[in-house]
Structure 1
Amino acid sequence: MLTLHTADLLVAGPGRAPLPGGAVLVEGDRITRVGPYAALSADRPHARTRRWPGVLTPGLLVRGADVLLERTYYPDDPYEAAELGTGPISGEAELDALEMTEARWGNSARRATQKLLARGVVAVAGRLTVPAVRTAVVRSGLTLLPPAPCAGPPSLDPFAAADTAGQAFHGVLEPGAPARFAAFAVDGPDELLRLGATTCVATVIGGRLLHRRR
């Protein structure tokens, strides 16, 4: 099936000129064309259209996955909220008190991957050693990459340590590239950097819509 994803502004990658009313045409798990929505829709009138508010960009990359997924516990809300609260738990003493098992780490990682997808993340970089955590990442659709330098403390928000929005992008939107991108309800890259990844309204990986803000 052909699908056109369009937004008020398309930012195809770092250093590329923003395209108002831009769109990407997706077939299967690949991008086949990139350009003005009006032109692409006229050429492919039978393609399904998904319209997103704000900015359409490449998906985001999070560094320090080992810290975020194997040294941070995400409580099961609401079942553990009364006992543990709802925020992430880290620190050697705090984790020791939880008596973590591999199964519990896997469940925590599944909750974390949902948080990442809800922030437009399509790939994570880090060395994961807990099998259940690696399985959670692979099954989520996220790409697991080797460790990469991190400009600041690892964060679920890839913009937290970035100087420009483009520093958080993973790949570019161009014909032949994997169909992995995100849409954010902001006016442009500067506002995206300022407001952060929680403005995400949609995340697409492999041509599949894996997150959509309700």
Structure 2
Amino acid sequence: MLTLHTAELLVPGPGSAPLPGGAVVVDGDRIARVGPYEELAAAFPHARTRRWPGVLTPGLQVRGADELLERTYYPDDPYEVPELGAEPISGEAALEALKMTEARWGNSARRGTQKLLARGVVAVCGRFTIASVRTAVTRSGLLILPPAAYEGRPALDPLAGRDTAGEAFHGHLEPGVVARFAVFAVADGAELLAQGATTCVATVIGGRLLHRRR
């Protein structure tokens, strides 16, 4: 099925000129065309159209994902929140007190990947040593990349510590590549960097809509 995704502003990739009213045509799991909405709507009249507010960009890439998913625990809301609180738990002593098992790590990782998808993340950098965590990441649709250097502590928000939003983009939006992109409720890249990835309204991986803000 052909799907035409359009937003108020399209940013095809880092260093690319923004395109007001731009659009991306997805055919299966791949990008078929990128360009002005009017042009693509005329070329693909039978495509299903999804209109999004804000800025459509390549999906984001997060560094230190093994730290975020194998050394951070995400309490199960609402069952564990009254006892553990809603914030992620890290630190050797705190995790030891939780008596973590591989199954529990896998369940936590599934909740963690949902948080990443809700921030426009499509790719994660890290080396996963817990089988249940790697399975959770693979099943989420997130692309696993080799570890990448970073300073400070890794964050769920891939834009944290970046100088430009483009530094967090994974690839470019162009014909032939796997359709991995996100939409953020901001006016432009500068506002995206300032407000952060929690402004995400939609995340698409392999042509599938894996997150949509309700």
Fold shared, TM-score > 0.5 on shorter chain = yes
Give per-residue Cα distances to partners, 1:34-82, cap 9 Å, x unaligned. Answer: 0000000011111100000000000000000111001000000110011
- Alpha-carbon separation, structure 2, partners of 1:124 and 1:40: 31
TM-score by length of 1: 0.99
CA–CA distance in 2 between the matches of 1:151 and 1:101? 29
3-state secondary structure, aligned to 1:115 = helix
Cα distance between partner residues in 1 of 2:184 and 2:13: 14
Contact 1:122 1:143 in 2 (8 A): yes
User: Any idea what the Cα deviations from partners look like across 1:72-121, whole Å, max 9, x if unmatched?
Assistant: 00000110011100000000000000000000000000000000000000
Unaligned 5+ residue runs, structure 2? none
Report the residue type matching 1:118 in the other structure: A
**Match for 2:207: what amino acid?**
G
* Whole-angstrom distance in 1 between the partners of 2:11 and 2:153: 26
Query: For the residues of structure 2 that align with 1:197 and 1:70, how far apart are their CA atoms?
Result: 22
Question: d(CA) in 1 for partners of 2:187 and 2:153?
Answer: 27
Residues 1-214 of structure 1: pairs in structure 2 closer than 5 A: 1-214=1-214
Asked whether the equivalents of residues 4 and 48 of structure 1 are also in contact (C-alpha less than 8 Å), the reply is yes
Q: CA deviation at 1:152?
A: 3.2
Work out the number of aligned pairs and report it. Answer: 214
CA distance in 2, matches of 1:14, 1:144: 21
What is the CA deviation profile of residues 107-139 of structure 1, one whole-angstrom value per residue up to 9, with x for unaligned ones? 000000000000000010001100000000000
CA distance in 2, matches of 1:43, 1:101: 53
How far apart are the structure 2 equivalents of 1:92 and 1:151?
Answer: 20
* Aligned residues of 1:63 and 1:126 also touching (Cα < 8 A): yes
Q: Secondary structure at the match of 1:106?
A: helix
Q: Deviations over 1:5-47 (max 9, x none)?
A: 0000000000000000000011000001000000000111111
CA distance in 2, matches of 1:138, 1:86: 25
User: For residues 133-181 of structure 1, what are the alpha-carbon distances to aligned partners after superposition, in whole Å with 9 as ceiling and x for unaligned?
Assistant: 0000000000111101113320000000111000000010001111010
- Would the aligned equivalents of 1:151 and 1:162 in 2 still touch at CA under 8 Å? no
Partners of 1:66 and 1:48 in 2: CA distance: 37
Query: Comparing 83-92 with 145-154, which one deviates more in the overlay?
Result: 145-154
Amino acid at match of 1:22: G
TM-score (normalised: structure 2): 0.99
Separation (CA, whole Å) in 1 of partners of 2:115 and 2:18: 27
Instruction: Please state how far the C-alpha of 1:190 moved relative to its aligned partner.
Output: 0.2
